[in-house]
Amino acid sequence: DAKTTQPPSMDCAEGRAANLPCNHSTISGNEYVYWYRQIHSQGPQYIIHGLKNNETNEMASLIITEDRKSSTLILPHATLRDTAVYYCIVDQTGANNLFFGTGTRLTVIP
């Protein structure tokens, strides 16, 4: 079921940009890339999604390579509250059966 590959853990210094990579080499043309995060003991939180173009919102930026086989989530100025498990998911439009995988545990260090 795993359509994405993410590093199990990463550290980032507070105030610096956090760049979280994701490989999705088997992505289909109609599949979107979604990012969610889960802070300890809370439900997952939607961050951003994209199809082909780079996307930016108030939380993060999503950079998708031209061949769509990989992407990077960028948190421009990481804070301690960004410490969480980040999940990269590929799925079709409107699909709800999200496969979360194991994600990347990001630790923001003071």
Partner 1 sequence: KAGVTQTPRYLIKTRGQQVTLSCSPISGHRSVSWYQQTPGQGLQFLFEYFSETQRNKGNFPGRFSGRQFSNSRSEMNVSTLELGDSALYLCASRAGLSSYEQYFGPGTRLTVT
List interacting residues with partner 1 (CB under 8 A): 32, 34, 42-46, 49, 87, 93-94, 96-102
Least distance in angstroms from the C-beta of 15 to partner 1: 28
Closest distance of CB 61 from partner 1, Å: 17
Q: What gap in Å lies between CA 70 and CA 2, rounded to an integer?
A: 14
Nearest distance from C-beta of residue 49 to partner 1, angstroms: 5
Q: Is the Cβ of residue 53 or residue 96 nearer to partner 1 in the bound state?
A: 96
Residue 4 backbone dihedrals phi, psi, to 5 degrees: -130, 155
Cβ 9 to partner 1 shortest distance, Å? 15
DSSP per residue, 6-44: --SEEEEETTS-EEEEEE-TT--TTEEEEEEEE-TTS--
Q: Which is nearer to partner 1, 41 or 110 (CB)?
A: 41
SS3 content of the chain, % helix, strand, coil (to 5): 5, 50, 50
Closest CB to partner 1 among 49 and 72? 49
